[in-house]
Structure 1
Amino acid sequence: MTRKVVLYALAIGFALYLVVPFYWIVNISFMHEVDAASVPPQFLPADPTMANYLGFVNPSTDQALVGSNAVGDTPYALLNSLVVALSTALVNLVLGTFAAYSFSRIQFRGSQVLLIVYLLTRMVPGIAIIIPFYLVMRTLDLLDTYGALILSYTTFALPITIWILKDYFRTVPRELEDAARVDRCGWFRMMWSVFLPISAPGLVAAAIFSFMTAWNEFMFALFMTSSISSQTIPVIAANFATDLNTQVTLMAAAGVLAVLPPLVLVLICQRLIVQGMAAGSVKG
């Protein structure tokens, strides 16, 4: 009985640790600036307002001055982040599927060593490779483009994508592939009609990981982009805190908008994510 009470208490405490900060940001985003700075703090807005969110569509004079027009740039940054994150997830799925299938179905000398080498590449600090990446992208004339970010983020996410999919693909019975070949299915048709639908949980888990990697990354986006044509939401969000005219309520509203897309995506796909990650970890 005592053990259950302790476990429930820890679970509730951990849930509050995750939920309360997000609730506080949402709460402040509906406040006026004066109310957000009040003492004691208001746990519910006394006079709720949508002005902070409407400012991203039609900023007032004061709002337009915040963070060197960070308010007006936020919608474009969200679109850039969405394009980059979705493209990164798609490229990772395509490349990761071919590589992971090979590792899970084909036995060849050095396969485990190669997998470990892939994983070791993720242990290199980003700051150690950002200058070489910058020089490569400049040589390829990709600076300040989606391409520079997509290529960079694919490099980061692909090793983990391969590991996730490799473990999940090993849980798919070989008999299903053999049955498809007996029915005269070619390899591509077998993959599209039989193998990939069964592997949907693993694919979704890998795609969400790739999406989140691209959506949250800041350092490479800061170095590789210089205009709103390709700057992502982490870069623009940082501008809110670098201006003398900082407004906490606008920062909170921008934070809510930045969190919503990945949050909604995870909530929609949570069952498949759990299945994909659990299958790989238990049976991989």
Structure 2
Amino acid sequence: MTVKVPLRYRIPWKKIVLYVLAIGFALYLVLPFYWIVAMSFMHEVDAISVPPHWIPSSPTLENYLGFVNPSESQALVGGRANEETPYSLRNSLIVATCTAVLNLALATFAAYSFSRLKFKGSQVLLVLYLITRMVPGIAIIIPFYLLMRSFGLLDTYLALILSYTTFALPITIWILKDFFRSVPRELEEAARVDRCGWFRTMWSVFLPVAAPGLVAAGVFAFMTAWNEFMFALFLTSTKAAKTIPVVAANFATDFNTQFTVMAAAGVLAVVPPLLLALIFQRKLVQGMAAGSVKG
């Protein structure tokens, strides 16, 4: 004889499992970043202690102050890494911002053409754009280096901006193309009825409506340039153009490696893109969601 348990007494195993998985995934994402932040305020003795200290026993700003006054800091790691960190953050910010702006300027016209104009071979051309993105960077780094050297662009912002644009532009076009298709044509037709030219229609009507897609594509291009390492390593050699990934790699040395200073550099490298994501969070989610469901 089977006894039925009332619904209010049944254990919601599915919800429990989902909650446990969600909490575990959240800890998997948050704990590493928390550990880096906490370590950046620790003394080296606390950072390498066993068992580890999850909370700094005596918080200090020495690891961050070493980037401001490296000559007075006792935490010199990787040669000139401390001194170059502020410059590398500036360089990364300039290069990533210019890459995002250039990508949006070029991709807007291309994506609008793919989404609004019907011409023979448009799909083939779009696929060719994506295929160029599939070529590994290591396959073109030497020809690109020689090309930049022949134009005298080594160790300059322009060399990095041009290289990063080639990486991000195909995906940026793809993101904007899908989002532009979701913008009603009636808006453009109404603007033309009001005697607006094409550029005015784009600037005053179309682009404001497509702002979430533009933000999503811009953030993607920004993050692509911010995180890239290999081309920055080959194309830069001084603090005039070195980016934060290259300088951060200099902290991992065979001698006198100090984890607290490395953690502080990691926190400084994460702050700009994190602030960017928080500022444009709503438009970023709208743009990525619209681009994923509109075909």
- TM-score, normalising length from structure 1? 0.98
Which one has a bigger Cα radius of gyration? 2
Say whether 1:246 aligns with 2:257: yes
Match runs of 1:137-216 below 5 Å: 137-216=148-227
Question: Are the equivalent residues in 1 in contact too, given 2:66–2:74 (CA < 8 A)?
Answer: no
- Size of the aligned set, in residue pairs, is 283
Alpha-carbon distance in structure 1 between the residues aligned to 2:155 and 2:289: 38
> Quick one: which amino acid aligns to residue 272 of structure 1?
K
| Distance change >3 Å, CA 175–CA 137, structure 1 → 2 | same
Q: Which runs of 4+ in 1 moved over 6 A?
A: none
Query: Which of the numbers 76, 83, 86 marks the counterpart of 2:94?
Result: 83
Q: What secondary structure sits across from 2:280 in the alignment?
A: helix
Alpha-carbon shift at residue 73 of structure 1 (Å): 0.7
Alpha-carbon distance in structure 2 between the residues aligned to 1:21 and 1:167: 35
Say whether 1:282 aligns with 2:293: yes
Match runs of 1:1-284 below 5 Å: 1-59=12-70, 60-64=72-76, 66-284=77-295
Q: Deviations over 1:198-230 (max 9, x none)?
A: 000000000000000000000000000011000
Gaps of 5+ in 1: none
Percent identity of equivalent pairs: 75
RMSD across aligned C-alpha pairs, in angstroms? Answer: 0.9
Alpha-carbon distance in structure 2 between the residues aligned to 1:136 and 1:11: 49
Higher mean C-alpha displacement, 165-174 vs 30-39: 30-39
Q: Deviations over 1:13-72 (max 9, x none)?
A: 1111111000000010000011111111101000100111111101235323x1111011
Alpha-carbon shift at residue 243 of structure 1 (Å): 4.6
Q: What secondary structure sits across from 2:68 in the alignment?
A: coil
Alpha-carbon shift at residue 102 of structure 1 (Å): 0.3
Alpha-carbon distance in structure 2 between the residues aligned to 1:57 and 1:121: 41
Q: Deviations over 1:72-128 (max 9, x none)?
A: 110000000000000000000000000000000000111111111111111111111
Alpha-carbon distance in structure 2 between the residues aligned to 1:109 and 1:13: 50
Alpha-carbon distance in structure 2 between the residues aligned to 1:167 and 1:7: 32
Question: Are the equivalent residues in 2 in contact too, given 1:68–1:243 (CA < 8 A)?
Answer: no
- TM-score, normalising length from structure 2? 0.94
Alpha-carbon distance in structure 1 between the residues aligned to 2:16 and 2:216: 32
Alpha-carbon distance in structure 2 between the residues aligned to 1:111 and 1:7: 44
Higher mean C-alpha displacement, 162-171 vs 133-142: 133-142
Gaps of 5+ in 2: 1-11
> Quick one: which amino acid aligns to residue 207 of structure 2?
L
Alpha-carbon distance in structure 2 between the residues aligned to 1:255 and 1:168: 34
Alpha-carbon distance in structure 2 between the residues aligned to 1:123 and 1:216: 18
Alpha-carbon distance in structure 2 between the residues aligned to 1:174 and 1:165: 15
Q: What secondary structure sits across from 1:62 in the alignment?
A: coil
Question: Are the equivalent residues in 2 in contact too, given 1:93–1:203 (CA < 8 A)?
Answer: yes
Q: What secondary structure sits across from 2:140 in the alignment?
A: helix
Alpha-carbon distance in structure 2 between the residues aligned to 1:238 and 1:256: 14
Alpha-carbon shift at residue 5 of structure 1 (Å): 2.2
